[in-house]
Amino acid sequence: MSSYLDGLNNAQLDAVRTTEGAVRVLAGAGTGKTRALTARYCYLVDLLGIDPASILCVTFTNKAAAEMKTRIRRRLGDVDMQYVCTFHSWCARMLREDIHVLNYPSEYLLLDEEDRKEMLQKVYIDLGITLKELPVRRAVEYIGARKSREGYMAVIETLSNPLPVKAEGARAADRMDEIYARYLYEQKKTFALDYDDLIIFAHYI
């Protein structure tokens, strides 16, 4: 038996060896998910002869992806592991090739947290909103929640101008909507995506 299968329990072995049809494994923290995924990858490549370039192996954190690469390399040597990565990095790579279908350039701008805050600060200035009135953190949370709703991509595809600024004294909910609309406009104007957009755009395409 290959060494990467040694020490796995029966449930983990089932997760590694089951290759026909869809397989879903539910496991909590500290139950050996990374170990099982690594073993499954090695099993597919080493025993079934699957080309590593044909395997997409995604996880949530850079730390977990790096750990899987280290373990795979220890078992299989120097194989092609370009698709062992995080969800966000895979979506970013996919969008470099396919985002043109949404009329975005392949060299779109990816906003990190600081970039997003700077863009929101510009929006605040344009709308005459102070940080005391509305902390940026609340705006970020609101924008993320709005983007997760159905219909967001339809807005992105048709957006060409910011929505009109409402009169002073508008209700707080209206102010949040103003910020959201202007933020989307600023993003579209510069062909910029934030980390929420990476997954939303990739899923939409």
> ∠38-48-18 over CA atoms, to 5°?
65
pTM for the structure as a whole:
0.80
What's the confidence (pLDDT) of residue 165? 41
For 29-47, what is the mean pLDDT?
A: 91
Outline where DSSP puts E strands in 4-140: 57-59, 84-86, 109-110
Q: Is the pLDDT score of 154 beyond 70?
A: yes
Please answer whether residues 53 and 82 qualify as being in contact, where contact means their C-beta atoms are separated by less than 8 angstroms.
yes
For 25-49, what is the mean pLDDT?
A: 91
pLDDT, tens digit (0-9, with 9 covering 90-100), for 48-92? 999 999 999 999 899 989 999 999 999 999 898 999 999 999 999
Please answer whether residues 163 and 181 qualify as being in contact, where contact means their C-beta atoms are separated by less than 8 angstroms.
yes
